[in-house]
Structure 1
Amino acid sequence: MSSNDVAIQVANVSKCYNVYHSPRDRLKQFILPKFNRLVGKEPENFYEEFWALDNINFSVKKGESAGIIGRNGSGKSTLLQLITGTLTPTSGEIYTQGRIAALLELGSGFNPEFTGIENIYLNGAVLGLTKNEIDNKFDAIAGFADIGSHLKQPVKNYSSGMMVRLAFAVQVQLEPEILIVDEALAVGDALFQKRCFQQIEKLTNDGVTLLFVSHDQESVRTITNKSILLDRGKQLNVGLSSDILLEYRRLLHKEESEYFSKLAQNLSKKTDISKDVPNKNENLSAITTSSKISSLNNEGNNNTPSRTEKLSFGEGNAEIESVKVLNSDGEFSNAFNPGDKIKIRVNCHVKKDISKLNVGIRIRNKEGVKIYSWGTLNQDMAIRYKNSDSIQFWERKFIEGERFFVDLDFTCDLGTNLYEIQAAISLEETPNYLSQRILHWQDEAAFFHVNVVRDEYFFGGVIDLKMIASW
């Protein structure tokens, strides 16, 4: 890749902070090391080093859209500040080519005492625009922000929503070559977020390089081509956004399992679980302990995982054995027309006595957009809401070694596309999705294609709304 093709190059970048336990230690660090050097003694440090980032390496080509994902505290915001130049790296180099517009912390770049109008001109000047250039773009900025007479008020009086409206409007209307967006958009209302994402898509189509940070995995999958996964300051992987997001979900699951394992161990130290703790805690202890043993076994296995293994994760006390797509005759099929009946059969295997299960699926199109997600717990929740006497799957008890299947039936109202089915079996401590632990998740569990017959019944889009025309 030539240097002319690169918009952002991060090479061996690390960032270290000195952490002081008290103001006294900071004062000692300022005085004593200098004094020790004068008298020929080895200087002593009165701080601890915290490496917010450790040896980060990646590049983003011009016109490319890249995401940065990771848990809170992984170093995402620090990395963005290094790229924008508001921080300097402890080691390594960062190369950028093009004018950068950054939407980072809420209100960053604004003078709170200035009015919205004054801050527009201030930000434009920082980006290198003349007053005449900002004048020409002012109406577009004010129209996109859509905060009316508040533009004449000091920014310190703005709500968080008004702040992000103005900040985003300024950054995108001043024609950046590199746009960096952090989590700030999350505070905007749904309509404004929609307008922001439309504007981001327009900019990327025009060749603007995008660096996007969000905890919304569907937004990252849809907007970006590649992603960088960070964890505790270290770079775990770089690759296609769909692959990196799967690895991110696997990482979250692993950390959640470790948390529950520690919780179960702490409970077992305080009391005899087999006698004094209710059944749900017995299941919790058994499952998390089994998960920990399985994790340790996997760490000792140096065999390269198969593609199927890479696409799945979970605690392992129940598993998805297969997912089949059937037609109205109960026969296997992977091609349907709108209006056809589709049955998705999820075959499961229970490896331990267990209850409170949920079997669910997620359907995505080939662009990676989630079309629909649903599971047995959704149906159970509706049953409880209606005070119905119908049997709830969540209450069913399974014994070790038991195999069963769940059929999920629907009428195909989807537009023409290739669809992926993701399947999962989870343990739900509460019957409302508020305490979920994945026992087995499988990406690319099955596929099917929907083809619209143009002569018989034609529509466009991702779903058939069954519109009726009248006059």
Structure 2
Amino acid sequence: MSTQVSTVANDNIAIAVHNVSKCHLIYDTPRDRLKQFLMPRLQRMAGQRQKTYFHEFWGLKNVSFEVKRGETVGVIGRNGAGKSTLLQIICGTLTPTIGRVETKGRVAALLELGAGFNPEFTGRENVYLNAALLGLTKEEIDNRFDDIAAFADIGEFLELPVKTYSTGMSVRLAFAVQSVIDPDIFIVDEALAVGDEKFQRKCFTRLESLKNNGCSILFVSHSPTSVVELCDRALFLEAGERLMYSGAAKAVRAYQKLIYAAPEVQKELAERYRVTDQSGEVAEFQSDDLPCAGDTTGPSDAFDPGLVPETTTRYAVQGAEIEGIEIRNASDQIVNLLRPGGDYQFIITGEFRKSFPKVYFGVHIKTISGVEVTGQRYPQEGTYVENVQAGQKFAVKFGFKMAMLPGVYFVGGGVWSSEEPTCLHRMLDALMFRVISLGRAKSFGYVDVSSMEPEVILR
């Protein structure tokens, strides 16, 4: 028995999945599909034993979980684990064979790339079509169209047929439509992996905003790091079954341990996870490893004019104004392609608009998904730069030895006062930089703190 998506009675629960199973009928040939349509009826009329011409594949098996309002849940598992099937059932585009799904509020989903777009329609026409299907009136779409167009940022292509779009442009427009309608539930199935680093950062910023507004998010990703950073909890699926529903870091460690285990150990490990998940016990892990940062190759100490963030946010000017943030190397060149282990200065420049008795400065570095990896304050905690005067210019230099692993990062900074208003000015994602790869990575995560070459002694 299956039931359609309905409304959750508990106001604190956005999604409730109850014992959902999905059976797919697999036919070896198109002829078998026709036989299955005709032969059982003829066999029944003739009083013969009915024969089937398919075999069953259960993509999901008795999966249950709940997602709270404002909660972000990652869905992890190997290819074929049932992640996409589960999301399609929650969205209502697939019907469960057994069980039921309940949701509360407007559901927006970014599943298959370009899904829901008419390739013959222009981008503008598809915006109106998709938004209307999501329940918006023409007036509501008119009011939000400029925001959608600005977020997608595909320029004149908005007036061209979608069939002329690249994959990246299609996902930009799809994400813009789905996220700008202010959904109660937002479901993303690996689509963000297509965009470049700047667009990914833009999307993660939007996801953070949706979450802060009470939106519940289901996020499927093959990037364990993104799941740990973004999600409150994670659902670990294996062969269509729920192995674990727990804190994101715990579920990711379990997933990594399983996929890297020897084949003969995986079945036993999966059963142990299943038992501990059902009993509520805490599973033991021998490895807390997180995935390696991706390698990126390129020249050393250079400037790439294309590395310009799309998510720069300037706070209100309340007595001081940051005019710029830049990175300079030991030769005093402005750079944004940095060498691992190199020495750099992150420089914040600006001007005080008012006089203040005590101020301090800060700079931070964030990942694409918005995790604050490191930062510095000047002067140190509890001390201040005293008696700054209106009209004074400032340039604050923070020294960094680049211990970050290869990847793309975002820089922001600010000026604060000991008195109200405390935040005189702040910029988020003021610039972005890339740490290049000089060879195979020997560390993982974001920071390389190794001090010597690893050594193995065999006795």
TM-score for both structures, normalised by structure 2: 0.60
Pairs within 5 Å for 1:453-468: 453-454=380-381, 465=400
Is the contact made by 2:13 and 2:69 (CA closer than 8 Å) also made in structure 1? yes
In structure 2, what is the equivalent of residue 59 of structure 1?
A: 66
Q: CA deviation at 1:24?
A: 1.7
Q: How far off is 1:42 after superposition?
A: 2.4
Q: Which whole-Å CA distance do the structure 2 matches of 1:222 and 1:204 have between them?
A: 14
Query: How far has the Cα of 1:457 moved from its partner?
Result: 9.8
> Aligned AA for 1:223?
L
Q: Structure 2: which amino acid aligns with 1:222?
A: E
Can you list the C-alpha shifts for 1:128-155, whole angstroms capped at 9, x where unaligned?
1111110000000000000000001000
Equivalent AA in structure 1 for residue 47 of structure 2: G
Cα drift, residue 308 of structure 1: 11
Which residue identity lines up with residue 284 of structure 2 in the other structure? K
Distance 2:126 2:192 in 1: 19
Distance 1:75 1:297, change over 3 A: closer
* Aligned with 1:42 (options 20, 43, 49): 49
Maintained 8 Å contact 2:187/2:219: yes
Residue 106 (str. 1) matches residue 136 (str. 2): no
> In terms of mean alpha carbon deviation, does 130-139 or 3-12 score higher?
3-12
Q: Does the Cα contact within 8 Å between 2:243 and 2:270 map onto a contact in 1?
A: no
Q: Name the aligned partner's letter for residue 252 of structure 1.
A: I
Query: Equivalent residue of 1:3, what SS?
Result: coil
Give 2:254's aligned amino acid. E
TM-score by length of 1: 0.58
Taking a change above 3 Å as real, the CA distance of residues 455 and 6 of structure 1, as seen in their structure-2 partners, is closer
Q: Where do 5+ consecutive residues of structure 2 fail to align?
A: 1-7, 295-340, 346-361, 365-375, 386-397, 403-459
Q: 1:39 deviation in Å?
A: 2.0
1:63-102 matches, within 5 Å, as 63-102=70-109
Q: 1:175 to 1:67 in 2, by over 3 A?
A: same
- The number of equivalent residue pairs is 302
State the alpha-carbon separation in 1 of the partners of residues 47 and 11 from structure 2: 50
1:421-436 paired onto structure 2 within 5 Å: none
CA-to-aligned-CA distance 1:165-208 (integer Å, 9 cap, x gap): 00001111111111001111111011000000000001101111
Identity of aligned residues (%): 49
One-letter code of the match for 2:215? Answer: V
Which AA in structure 2 matches 1:55? N
Equivalent residue for 1:246? Answer: 253
Map of 2:158 onto structure 1:
151
The DSSP-based 3-state class of the residue aligned with 2:100 is strand
Q: Displacement of 1:465 after TM fit? A: 3.1
Q: Structure 2 CA distance, aligned partners of 1:160 and 1:294?
A: 36
3-state SS of 2:53 partner: coil
RMSD between aligned residues: 3.7
- Counterpart residue number, 1:276: none
Amino acid corresponding to residue 231 of structure 1 in structure 2: E
Which structure carries more helix by proportion? 1
1:216-365 pair list within 5 angstroms: 216-254=223-261, 257-258=262-263, 310-313=284-287
3-state DSSP class of the match of 1:88? coil
Quick one: distance in 2 between partners of 1:233 and 1:295? 14
Deviation at 1:295, TM superposition (A): 9.1
- Per the alignment, residue 199 of structure 1 pairs with 206
1:319-338 deviation line (CA, Å, top 9, x unaligned): xxxxxxxxxxxxxxxxxxxx
SS at match of 1:139: helix
Q: Secondary structure at the match of 1:312?
A: coil
Partner of 1:319: none
Deviation per residue, 1:223-280 (Å, 9 max, x gap): 11011000111111101111101111111112xx22xxxxxxxxxxxxxxxxxxxxxx
Following superposition, the deviation at residue 121 of structure 1 comes to 0.2
Q: Is the 8 A contact 2:258 2:269 kept in 1?
A: no
Evaluate the alpha carbon distance shift between residue 132 and residue 453 of structure 1 in structure 2; reply closer, same or farther with a 3 A threshold: same
1:160 to 152, 159, 167: 167
Please tell me the residue identity of whatever aligns with 2:381: R
Determine the C-alpha separation between the residues in 1 that align with 2:269 and 2:149.
59
Q: Within the alignment, does 1:8 sit opposite 2:12 as a pair?
A: no
Look up the SS of the partner of 1:310 in the other structure.
coil
Structure 2 letter corresponding to 1:64: E
Q: Provide the rounded CA distance (Å) in 2 between the counterparts of 1:168 and 1:33.
A: 45
1:85 and 1:219 map into 2 onto residues whose CA distance is 26
Distance in 1 between residues matched to 2:401 and 2:269, nearest whole Å: 52
Q: What is the CA deviation profile of residues 90-142 of structure 1, one whole-angstrom value per residue up to 9, with x for unaligned ones?
A: 11001111101100000011111110000000011101111111000000000
- CA-to-aligned-CA distance 1:404-461 (integer Å, 9 cap, x gap): xxxxx9x9x9x999xxxxxxxxxxxxxxxxxxxxxxxxxxxxxxxx999425799xxx
State the shift of 1:2 in Å: 6.2
Q: 1:45 to 1:293 in 2, by over 3 A?
A: closer
1:371-390 equivalences under 5 Å are none
Q: Distance in 2 between matches of 1:190 and 1:297?
A: 35
Aligned twin of 2:3: none
* Alignment check: 8 A CA contact 2:259 2:266 kept: no
**1:312 partner letter:** Q
Distance in 1, matches of 2:13 and 2:285, equals 31
Spell out, residue by residue over 1:27-75, the C-alpha distance to the aligned partner (whole angstroms, 9 max, x if none): 1111110111112222110100011111110011111111100011111
Q: How far, CA to CA, are the matches of 2:108 and 2:267 in structure 1?
A: 43
